Structure 1
Amino acid sequence: MQYSPDSDPSYDLKIHAGFKVVRDYSFSFDKVEISFKDMVRFIFPSTGYLIFNLFFGDDFTLRFLNYDLSEDLPHHLYITGLLSRGMLITGQQGTGGGYAMKIHPVIGYHFLRIPMYQLTDRQVRLSHIFDREGRPLRQLEANASARTLNDPGVKGFFSKYLPDKSVYLRDPVYHAVNKIISKKGIIQVKKLATECCMSERTLHRQFLLKVGLSPQSYAKIWQLHFTMELLKNNPGAKLQGIAFKAGYYDVAHLARDFREKLFVPPSQFYRDVNPMMQSYLDFPDSLQ
């Protein structure tokens, strides 16, 4: 699970947590500074949030080695949707780094104004999503001037297009997502639909539109996150106890989810977790 170089590169990796305010939103973010002579692989689990990324460094390269096999360009702002099939594997090389920010999927829906299923399992440049409104971002990208989150163009873009908070606070799907998060993914979809005054079919359709996954699939992400937390905080605990606390019927069901979504058995997951992945798991939802 540790970052594994394709050869034996000399490398330097620094991670900093940051915070900023745009309008009435508070941003939490991670800033990563990297210097890798050769291509280095990093592995990231699915997260229950969309991820905004801004990369910097004229010779820095980041590639998706699975999913949509995309390559990020420095000084461009990207959004990565929810991942449905398991871990994301990236290859990174050069000197530079980037900023990573988590965003609640329903806030992302009201910000981007596109169906979230269009982002599932892929990343897209923000300037491509916003069409005419994206022209300022495209100009920043063309001039390679977007190098920090403090860039006036980047801050101005977020300030102008982030939705008024009352919009998503009135959205029942926003609160349904929060219920799943607070319950660590251990929920009954039928009960959740009733609480949202919807049929299960309507809730399913609304989740695909505003989250990108079904309620069941979204809850599974958070159940796995809870299981990872339990494994991290209870290294000597028996898997039977971990499975019970995480809402699994037995260890076999837990082990199956780890093999399918995390590519390793639960007993090996925290053996060599790399610092970038741990920071990615730990830093909070960006937009509050």
Structure 2
Amino acid sequence: MLLVRHAVPAPLRPFVAVAHGYRAPALPTGLHRGLPSRHLTLVVELAAPLRVNGPGSAVAAHAVVGGLHTRAALIDATRPQDGLQYALTPLAASALLGLPAAELAERTVDLADVLGRAADRLVEDLAAAPGWAERFARLDAALLDRLCGDVAPVPPEVREAWRLVHGSGGRCRVEELAAHVGWSRRHLSERFRLATGLTPKQAARIARFEATRRLLLDPRRPPLAEVAVRCGYADQPHLAREWRALAGCSVGTWLREEFPFVQDSAPAEGAPSPA
């Protein structure tokens, strides 16, 4: 698999956490799992319509966007793929897509359902681009054109709770977060969900899951029992249950079927680092 990393222009950096282009062969299993993370996902697939089954209704389109989710998106990988993928912050939902992040939670949708005909023009424009640099330039320009000054503000209390959830690897209890920001647990959970699409408890699950995935990808991967302890699970069976719930398969299945795919995703030589 070829992975080309890209640094987006400064005005997009509050909204685009990571951007890359990819070119991937068909996978032997015919399936790629889009795992839950702290980012929304924008994909423009140029080789053929991207077929995604869940979260939410199945979709097949050249451009899709997915909100924050707590179970894997199952992506058809029976054919080669060629396109761009941008990991978006929750703030990007209102700033770039014109809708609250909560409306995209647990859903993957055709970008045309969000942007209308502009999504089709974007796919056509990227398909006609002569190379990676021009592809990135055209997608960046399209997003910058949508960037407006009327972004719905996120309360500082929610920003702080989000920072603590992910800074602690999901180890902060909701009661502690609420006390820290000076809100009730109920009020924090509702405002957090409106801003991100997840409750603080769900976001903490995702943060622990991300920490687990980072350790599993480490060449010096420790035993699963140690991974469980380091990532805040009660024990290895607890980790196994959470991984299966969030990834849709066991840790062993993911390592056997997906790890070679992820491991081979080396950035192209000379490509810029992500923002």
- TM normalised by structure 1 equals 0.75
Which residue does 2:130 correspond to in 1? none
Which residue does 1:9 correspond to in 2? none
Distance 1:53 1:35, change over 3 A: same
Q: Of residues 148, 173, 184 in structure 2, which corresponds to 1:188? A: 173
Aligned-partner SS, 1:237: coil
C-alpha deviation, 1:159, in angstroms: 1.6
Which residue does 2:88 correspond to in 1? 103
Q: Is the 8 A contact 2:51 2:59 kept in 1?
A: yes
Aligned-partner SS, 1:247: coil
C-alpha deviation, 1:198, in angstroms: 1.7
Q: Of residues 30, 46, 60 in structure 2, which corresponds to 1:71? A: 60
Which residue does 2:37 correspond to in 1? 47
Q: How many residues align?
A: 259
Q: Distance in 1 between matches of 2:150 and 2:99?
A: 18
Q: Distance in 1 between matches of 2:143 and 2:177?
A: 32
Quick check: which one's strand share is greater?
Answer: 1
Q: Is the 8 A contact 1:109 1:210 kept in 2?
A: no
How large is the RMSD of aligned CA atoms in angstroms?
3.4
**2:136 equivalent to 1:149:** yes
Q: Is the 8 A contact 2:94 2:152 kept in 1?
A: no
Which residue does 1:226 correspond to in 2? 211
C-alpha deviation, 1:260, in angstroms: 1.8
Q: Of residues 250, 254, 262 in structure 1, which corresponds to 2:235? A: 250
List alignment gaps of at least 5 residues for structure 1.
1-12
Which residue does 1:175 correspond to in 2? 160
Q: Is the 8 A contact 2:21 2:83 kept in 1?
A: yes
C-alpha deviation, 1:71, in angstroms: 0.4
**2:68 equivalent to 1:82:** yes
Q: Which amino acid aligns with 2:189?
A: H
C-alpha deviation, 1:199, in angstroms: 1.2
Aligned-partner SS, 2:126: coil
Q: Distance in 2 between matches of 1:91 and 1:30?
A: 20
Distance 1:14 1:204, change over 3 A: same
Q: Is the 8 A contact 2:111 2:119 kept in 1?
A: no
C-alpha deviation, 1:242, in angstroms: 2.0
Q: Is the 8 A contact 2:212 2:227 kept in 1?
A: yes
C-alpha deviation, 1:259, in angstroms: 2.2
Q: Is the 8 A contact 2:9 2:140 kept in 1?
A: no
Q: Is the 8 A contact 2:5 2:274 kept in 1?
A: no
Distance 1:203 1:112, change over 3 A: farther
Q: Is the 8 A contact 1:107 1:168 kept in 2?
A: no
Q: Of residues 213, 219, 223 in structure 1, which corresponds to 2:198? A: 213
Q: Is the 8 A contact 2:7 2:274 kept in 1?
A: no
C-alpha deviation, 1:216, in angstroms: 0.5
Bigger drift between 103-112 and 161-170 goes to 161-170
C-alpha deviation, 1:194, in angstroms: 2.2
- TM normalised by structure 2 equals 0.78
Aligned-partner SS, 1:47: coil
Q: Is the 8 A contact 1:82 1:212 kept in 2?
A: yes
Aligned-partner SS, 1:20: coil
**2:13 equivalent to 1:25:** yes
Q: Is the 8 A contact 1:25 1:287 kept in 2?
A: no
C-alpha deviation, 1:156, in angstroms: 3.6
